[in-house]
A and B are shown apart, each in its own frame.
Chain A
Amino acid sequence: MAKKETSFLKLVLSLTLITVVAAAALAAVYTVTKEPIAQSIIDKKNKAIQLVLPGFDSKKGTIEEQKVLLKDLPDSLTLYIAKMDNKLFGMAVETYTKKAFSGRFDIMVGFDTQGKILGSEVLKANETPGLGDKIDKKKNPKFALQFNGKVLPDFKLKVKRDKGDVDAITAATISSRAYCNAIENAFEAYKMVMTQYNTPNSIDSTQTTK
């Protein structure tokens, strides 16, 4: 009986010891990598803003953040309102869709002041490798680039099968539709914020009232 008890104690001790050491090691690594991880997320976002707003010089201009909650979506969209020389340059919208093949993906879309799409970048997506992941222009330039230069709402943000203007990716219609949906969400948010700047080219009056 006594023998069994010591062995039980030994089991508990060895397991406890090992888990404590493992926890300490994890805590150490977590502390060291926390900063770089946060930084790499910010870098990625800034880079994406830069990429979807070609021509915008972040050294000369400023970027304001604004969050917009759309009525059908659970999370708010973040708009990065870019201004140069006190004039509205355009907006980068961090948007997402809930209609992706794998549930959700996040993209960044850039608009100028007239509703023209300047560019789009995939931020976070989990679409099927080899099929849906072609929404990323690094994997398949044709799809994502077709939106650049298109003016909403004249350009019908639907795949051709749904009588729209968008060429879908072969064998990845759901992902293509989802991409359109994400841009559509971005455009909704963009329109809401744009109403604050009722005359597109003179924004100072509305913005700098104290």
Chain B
Amino acid sequence: MSKLKVLTNGFLKENPVFVLVLGTCPTLAVTTSANNAVGMGLAAAFVIIMSNVIISLLRPVTPNEVRIPIYIVVIATFVSIVDYVLQAYVPALAESLGIFIPLIVVNCIVLGRAEAFAGKNNVFDSFLDGVGMGIGFTLALLIISTVREIIGNASYFGHPIKALVGNEMLIFVLAPGAFIVFGFIIALVRALQKK
């Protein structure tokens, strides 16, 4: 596989959210606003990249029988680091992401990539895969939150859109709206891929 392919794999072809359908819980939960989506996406991207690199580095000393616990320890460590750092230096973002930062631990994208890619490939490829998946995840969150925030809250990145104020469709910021948008976008991505 060429390096470029490894990198761009996560953008669309194997987009973690729309194609692999991993990490749906945080995806649906944080995409109420574009700000949250970008924050969550970047935090998760950092964890995916770092854990991919470390897990790939640890390959020689990782016995097959205990690889999952080792992956989880590595991932959980990075999540805690992200959590502390955000709370210390970007408290506003830490607050709006709230519970979802600790939830990166159970985000299957991270463990999924560790198991499917980083545990089998070299460090550089794992790094590229992490970057690609991180970007793919962030993009996916941004796309869903764009639809939801504009229609549901008449704003984008927190800035009100005057033309729409008063016509917000509340359902789009609630859970059902998340599923509706999610479903339509998956359908669209599949239609695009079939071509």
Contact = CB atoms under 8 A, between A and B. Distances in A.
The binding surface of chain B is classed by DSSP as helix
Interface in A141-184: 170-171
A44 B91 CA distance: 9
Interface of B: 32-33, 36, 58, 61-63, 65-66, 69-70, 73-74, 76-77, 80-81, 84-85, 87-89, 91, 95, 98-99, 152-153, 170, 173-174
Contacts of A130: 32-33, 152-153, 170, 173-174
Contacts, number: 70
Contacts of B153: 130
A11 B62 CA distance: 8
A22 interface: yes
Interface of A: 7, 10-11, 14-15, 17-19, 22, 25-26, 29-30, 32-33, 35-37, 40, 44, 124, 126, 128-131, 170-171
The binding surface of chain A is classed by DSSP as helix
B46 to A, nearest CB: 13
B98 A126 contact: yes
B87 A33 contact: yes
11 contacts: A14-B66, A14-B70, A18-B58, A18-B73, A25-B81, A40-B88, A44-B91, A130-B152, A130-B170, A130-B174, A131-B173
